[in-house]
Chains A and B, each alone.
Chain A
Amino acid sequence: MMLAAFADPVFDSQRTFRELLQAMARPAVPRRLPVLPPSPAPVMPEAMAIVLTLCDATTTLWLQQPNAEVAEHLRFHAGLRLADQVQQADFALIDDPTSMPALEGFARGDLRYPDRSASLIVQVEGFRTDRGPRFAGPGIRHTEMLAIEGLQDGFWRQRAALSAQLPLGVDLYFVAAQHVVAMPRTTRLLEG
């Protein structure tokens, strides 16, 4: 039987959006997602909340591990189109970041329209704000400390390589344990 989506589509997506907006405006700070809708495995309810808030028939979503149940759930509740190729995706759902495709494979926009770029929703193991590297950039007052657990080796190196192409880039939403951390293309990981 198919699972339900948001119990209250108008207000659940509004509350989720406001957290996403603040998350994007204040990168590298975990924010609690207010509503967790039911979600078929391997999609986490946190990731499903973002998809239901932002995706509809005008957007495409790329699934790292497509399966029939997830595809049916998303098509029914969000009416979205699934993308076969990563470069065609407006949104991408990564459930296993250790084997995710290279960041540079996703749409990064073009110089006249850098907004035509992919947003990645990445399911990770957890966040730690008491240790880990420091981040800086627009939205961050001084620096923010954050460790994201479960990413593949070399992920940050890959992302730093993309930053040479600013304002082109991809924007990231990491989700774990009822929280979301947004990482727009402008956020820099500080070395050392």
Chain B
Amino acid sequence: MTPRYNFAFLDEDTKRMLRRALLKAVAIPGYQVPFGSREMPLPYGWGTGGIQVTAALLGPDDVLKVIDQGADDTTNAVNIRRFFSRVAGIATTEHTTDATLIQTRHRIPETSLREDQILIFQVPEPEPLRTLEPREAETRTLHALADYGLMHVKLYEDIAQYGHIATSYDYPVLVDGRFLTSPSPIPKFDNPKLDRSPALMLFGAGREKRLYAIPPYTSVESLAFDDHPFELQRWDHQCALCGSGDSYLDEVVVDDHGARMFVCSDTDYCSGRRVEAQA
């Protein structure tokens, strides 16, 4: 642990500001609360929002897991874990079941979460309407009026052009029947895990300076149409390492001749299944 910093890097005033914003975020599910995002010792786009939320939550007894695209061993995940063990001296883990806090970039673990766990998402763009309406004042008004016609038109245009809704990640959801919310760029495969989750889910966007939350057991509906219901992507393959047929798979090129394999994106889930199979 590096003793020159306050516990978990941030000063106490900043943590209090974050904590007040987080409580309001939980009280208004799916609504984006502005907060005073601080400069962190890594650039925007590397999870500064998630890191600030984690820092505001972290206590000495917490066990932190960090994943990037489902993997514990990628640069972003390794560095964030190392950062918090240096500035807070806390324990880290790669096992989903051992963690009290899980910070994630772009995935939800395959293993079901528990009520005593908190999932923290790194969010690049918190505003689901931003690509359709660039003005913040205007998107705020659309949220105030719950006017989400723009998004329905976008999904409809997908159907008109491609015959199906082509959005496969960052698929927009309606939280508690009120606020249109970005689930962060998780694959739409993970959207059903947001609905009535036992674990609290917090979202932090550092560059955009917004926090939001989905409380446990809250309805999260992926937008769709009656005649074009929400559908999950499916694979013709199984994981080449653990044989799982129902997890989210990454396609990996393995040689110079274009040979490919499909493997679980959730490394802890995959290695857990392999250990189980050997036993």
Contacts and interface: CB of A to CB of B under 8 A. Distances in A.
B33 A186 contact: no
Contacts of A15: 59
Q: How large is the interface on B (under 10, 10 to 19, 20 to 34, 35 or more residues)?
A: 35 or more
B216 to A, nearest CB: 6
Contacts of B13: 56, 58
Among A9, A15, A138, residue most surrounded by chain B Cβ atoms (within 10 Å): A138
Q: Secondary structure of the A side of the interface?
A: mixed
Contacts of B200: 21-22, 25
Interface stretch (A40-48, A62-70, A94-102, A107-115): A107-115
A54 B218 contact: no
A139 to B, nearest CB: 4
A77 to B, nearest CB: 13
Contact of B57 (A10, A21, A59, A141): A21
Contact of B24 (A26, A58, A115): A115
Contacts of A17: 19, 56-57
A167 B178 CA distance: 8
Interface of B: 6-7, 12-13, 15-17, 19-29, 31, 33-34, 56-60, 115, 118, 140-141, 143-145, 176, 178-179, 196, 200, 213, 215-219
Interface of A: 9-11, 13-15, 17-18, 20-22, 24-26, 53-56, 58-59, 111-115, 117, 119, 138-141, 166-167, 171, 184-186
25 contacts: A13-B12, A14-B7, A14-B15, A17-B19, A18-B57, A18-B59, A21-B23, A21-B118, A21-B200, A24-B215, A26-B115, A53-B16, A58-B13, A112-B140, A114-B28, A115-B25, A115-B31, A115-B33, A138-B218, A139-B215, A139-B216, A141-B216, A184-B27, A185-B28, A186-B27
